[in-house]
Structure 1
Amino acid sequence: MGGKTAMNFAVKYPALLSQLVVVDIVPKAYPVHHDHILEGLNAIDLTTLSSRTEADTLLSKKVVEPDVRQFLLKNLYRTTEGKFAWRVNLAAIDAHIEEMGEGMQYAGTYAGPALFIKGARSNYYSQGDEHTIKSIFPKAEFVTLETGHWVQAEKPAEFSATVLRFLNQG
């Protein structure tokens, strides 16, 4: 979701940024395929939740990868009253998941430096996608890390080093 937002922002407001980093997403439409994640997150009853460990156990019924669960559970926090809450609006995500899968909202290009990081085992890239990216982001560079789709969760140190190298070039 963040990658598509960043790409649309770059195309619509190119003067407002100097560099762009996009993680494991292409400016094209995708079918909804994260139902199991939303089901898992929505299955956690925050009114009765007693610990993060319990949240992880509940989420593990739908999301088997521990690093992905930990990444998702970073959105869980305790309020000042000591209750659990989500940092994200799950109801809004549920209501608009189809729209989130749509392609680019704005036409145009972004001529600035752009880094596209993809996971080697991710199914978000297909043959020809780099050409699609270059047609909108002509200065795009590509880096592939040995991960699935959740690049920053699966290889946080490699991800951070890759992004910092790119940002320090600019």
Structure 2
Amino acid sequence: MLNLHYKEQGQGYPILLIHGLFGSLSNLGILAKHLAGLSYRVISVDTLNHGLSPRSESMNYQLQAKAVKTLCEKLDISQCAIVGHSMGGKIAMATAQLYPDLVSALVVGDIAPVAYQHNHTAVFSGLKSFDPKDIKSRSDAESLLAEHIQEAGVRQFLLKSLANTKQGWQWLFNIEQLALCYNSIIGWEQFGQFEHACLFIKGENSDYIVSKYQQSVGQQFPKAELKMIAGTGHWLHAEKPAIFNRLTEQFLAKHI
């Protein structure tokens, strides 16, 4: 059984937070702390092959949604709201479509219910270019990543999942398995319509939610709302956390 690792804080109506590719449950930590302070029960999740969650040979969204459902059963949660960013947004959408009675409301950060043509070739090249056990510091890792990844923000995001353990430095995600599952991660299979409230939050400078995807969003999430955060990209929750938190807070207060 795929028992997801999680962190829980606060009390009240349950809200699950699901991070994106190459991340961990700490990525939505600012939002988690904010919502916990508003009297919500916040459960932050490590997805499969990330953080301290199990390693899995499959990462299709039906399996990942089932893992979320299993966690809810373990925590005696019969209904919750879910906030997901990027890949985590797809996991959230799949969970809502497959288990609509479980999900009362949905917040999706900068991702659409479509198959993408995006690639992370440079990221995988950088991650595979060295064995973290051979480095002496985090700055060593950044220098090696910089040979493949130009964007400093992307490097800093990845380095959040580099841990200094008793066995030496190591990534908290399974690089090989993520590469093998990559087509599933960027892909999408519709599992039905979600008839409850749903908020999509787009980063103005990101190309993950564009006009050509509006039809897919409307067909699968007929009650969807769209908000945009100006001057930010795909990592909108990290770049403009106050605005992202406020939009999420206002939406949840209205719909749960």
Same-fold call, TM > 0.5? yes
The alpha-carbon deviation at position 131 of structure 1 amounts to 2.7
User: RMSD of the TM alignment (CA)?
Assistant: 1.9
Q: Note the 1:97-116 alignment, pairs <5 A.
A: 97-104=182-189, 106-116=190-200
Question: SS of the residue aligned with 1:19?
Answer: strand
Q: Deviations over 1:80-138 (max 9, x none)?
A: x151122211111111112222122x431111111111111112223232232121111
Gaps of at least 5 residues in structure 1 are none
Gaps of at least 5 residues in structure 2 are 1-86
% same residue: 39
- Say which structure is richer in strand: 2
The alpha-carbon deviation at position 32 of structure 1 amounts to 4.2
Counting matched residue pairs gives 168
Identify which of structures 1 and 2 has the higher relative contact order when contacts are C-alpha pairs closer than 8 Å and 6+ apart: 1
Question: SS of the residue aligned with 2:222?
Answer: coil
Question: SS of the residue aligned with 2:160?
Answer: helix
What TM-score do the two structures reach when normalised by structure 1? 0.87
Question: SS of the residue aligned with 1:128?
Answer: helix
- The aligned residue for residue 37 of structure 1 is 123
In structure 2, what residue type is equivalent to 1:125? I
Q: Is 2:204 aligned against 1:120? A: yes
Q: Is 2:206 aligned against 1:140? A: no
What TM-score do the two structures reach when normalised by structure 2? 0.60
Q: Is 2:249 aligned against 1:160? A: no
Question: SS of the residue aligned with 2:170?
Answer: strand
Q: Deviations over 1:18-58 (max 9, x none)?
A: 22121111111112411111212222421112112222222
CA distance in 2, matches of 1:90, 1:53: 20
